[in-house]
């Protein structure tokens, strides 16, 4: 009986760690996605700035 109870607790604990791991991974993916979007925005603005700057130099 005691062994079965221990197994049940271990099983529940295992499920909880899996849920926590899933949440953790999902949070990491969300943060990475957010960072990627921010990086893309930064890169786009830098490229635009350089592109327009180059155009301005060319027209002069």
pLDDT for the residue numbered 12? 72
Report, as an integer, the average pLDDT of 6-33.
81
CA distances from 26 to 22, 36, 46, 51 (A): 6, 15, 30, 37
DSSP state of 60: -
* Higher per-residue pLDDT: 58 or 43: 43
Lowest mean pLDDT: which of 5-9, 24-28, 39-43? 5-9
Q: Dihedral, CA atoms, 35, 41, 46, 48, nearest 10 degrees?
A: 160
Q: Where are the domains of the chain?
A: 1-60
For residue 59, what pLDDT is reported? 56
Q: In terms of pTM, does the model score above 0.75?
A: no
Q: 7: which DSSP letter? A: H
| pLDDT band, residue 3 (cuts 50/70/90) | low
């Amino acid at each position: 009986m005691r062994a079965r109870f221990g197994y049940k607790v271990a099983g529940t604990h295992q499920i909880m760690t899996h849920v926590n791991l899933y949440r953790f991974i999902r949070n990491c993916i969300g943060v990475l996605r957010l960072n990627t979007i921010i990086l893309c925005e930064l890169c786009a603005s830098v490229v635009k700035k350089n592109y327009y700057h180059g155009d301005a130099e060319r027209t002069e």
